Copies of this chain bind each other. A is one copy, B any other.
Amino acid sequence: MKNTTQSMNCQRKNCNKCQHNICTYRVPIFSDLEPDEMMKIIELIVSRKYARGEMIVMEGNQLEGLYIIHSGRVKAFRYTQEAKEQILYLFAEGDFFGEKNLLRKQPVTYHAEALEETQICVIPHRSFHELLKEAPSISYKIMDQLCIRIDHLETLIQNMGTRDMEARISAILIEFAKKYGSKQNDGILVSMPLSREGIANYIGVTRETISRKLSRLQDDGIIEQVGNKKIKIYDLKALEQEYL
């Protein structure tokens, strides 16, 4: 009950207070839409809120629509045979999931968990299909996004296929530096989206190995671990050479 009212508040609030900050404006898929088309979508959106650590969808779920991240961060993962978490994607604002449900009536193929407080906008199936008919350009956008996702997965596989652990960790650090880093005069400060264990589950090793390798990079003066949630990269070139 409480959630429902909260959701409606959220929706209203967005519409009135900051039109240019609502889900649809942030989502690449809808970036080409005319304002009136955009408004139609906004009408259809249902919003939900998840706390850090809360599961958003589970593998096998039949979703009622497309889930779009309005704010927050989400990890998507599967379990390996040994019941270890294998992270597949890190989703952020503007990313979506549940597209397989939408396009081929398939349940989601991974678990999705909020890494921090996260707000999700849901566009119901039927609404979305009507939208597709009216604005076919959206289908191009979706294909685009699917290709980006494929790119990501291919690169992840390439990374997991390299034996040299230093290179694998360097690759992750570079990826995070690009996405979550801010330049400072003496280096790049990266606000890490994942814990050490999370990183481990992303590249398929144990957390201890991550610890050891990061300490080594720190000893070499290439990075500095600032608490548990930030890493400062002093020598990006050295990382890239490790990576090459």
Contact = CB atoms under 8 A, between A and B. Distances in A.
Interface of A: 78-82, 84, 86, 88, 99-100, 103-104, 106, 109-110, 136, 139-140, 142-144, 146-151, 153-154, 156-164, 167, 204, 243-244
A154 B157 CA distance: 9
Contacts of A100: 147, 150-151
Contacts of A82: 162-164
Identical copies of this chain, number? 2
A238 B99 CA distance: 35
A139 B143 CA distance: 8
**Which DSSP category, helix, strand, loop or mixed, fits chain A's interface?**
helix
A110 B136 CA distance: 30
Residue picked from A104, A144, A150, most chain B C-beta under 10 Å: A150
A103 B160 contact: no
B154 A84 contact: no
Contacts of A156: 157
A130 B109 CA distance: 34
Given A81-B162, A143-B142, A150 B153 contact: yes
